[in-house]
Amino acid sequence: MAGQEQQQPQSRDTEVDEDVPAAPPAPAEAQASAATQGVDDLLDEIDGVLESNAEEFVRAFVQKGGQ
């Protein structure tokens, strides 16, 4: 996507995916439902990306000191 040097402050009340049509304004309940759907899709995608065996992976991430 093109650069957006300055985005205007967002005035959305709930988090809605960008590809949801902006108008007409949806009732709050529908917005919340769309937001939930967006989160569910996102979590489904991330489930497929996360390393397997979370416990072992996190435990093995051991760093030496730094600044």
Partner 1 sequence: MTAVVPGKPAHTGGGLPAGGAMRVMGSETEYGIHAPSAPGANATMMSARVIQAYAQVTRQRAAGGAETRWDYTDEEPLHDARGWTLERSAADPEQLTDRPPVLDAEAVALAYGRQELEANGEDGSGTLLMNMVLGNGARLYVDHAHPEYSSPEVTNPRDAVAWDAAGDLVALAAVRRLAADPELPPINLYKNNTDNKSVSYGSHENYLMPRSVPFGDIVRGLTPFFVTRQVLCGAGRVGMGQDSSRPGYQISQRADFFETEVGLETTIRRPIINTRDEPHATADKYRRLHVIIGDANLSQASNYLKFGTTAMVLSLIEAGLAPRLEVHEPVAALQAVSHDTSLTATVRLLDGRRVTALDLQWIYYEAAAKHAQDTGVADAVDGDGHTHAVLERWAATLTELGGDRAAAASSVEWLAKLSLLEGYRQRDGLGWDSARLGLVDLQWADIRPEKGLYYRLLARDRMQRIVDDGTIARAMTEPPSDTRAYFRGRCVSRFGTDLVGASWDSVIFDVPGRGKLQRVPTREPLRGTEALTGGLFARHREAGPFLAELLGLSPSS
Give the interface with partner 1 as residue ranges (CB under 8 A): 1-15, 17-18, 35, 39-40, 42-43, 45-46, 49-51, 54-55, 57-67
Tell me 63's DSSP state.
-
Q: How far is the CB of 1 from partner 1 (least distance, A)?
A: 7
Of the pair 5, 23, the CB lying nearest partner 1 is at: 5
Of the pair 3, 24, the CB lying nearest partner 1 is at: 3
The token pair at 62 is: 């051991």
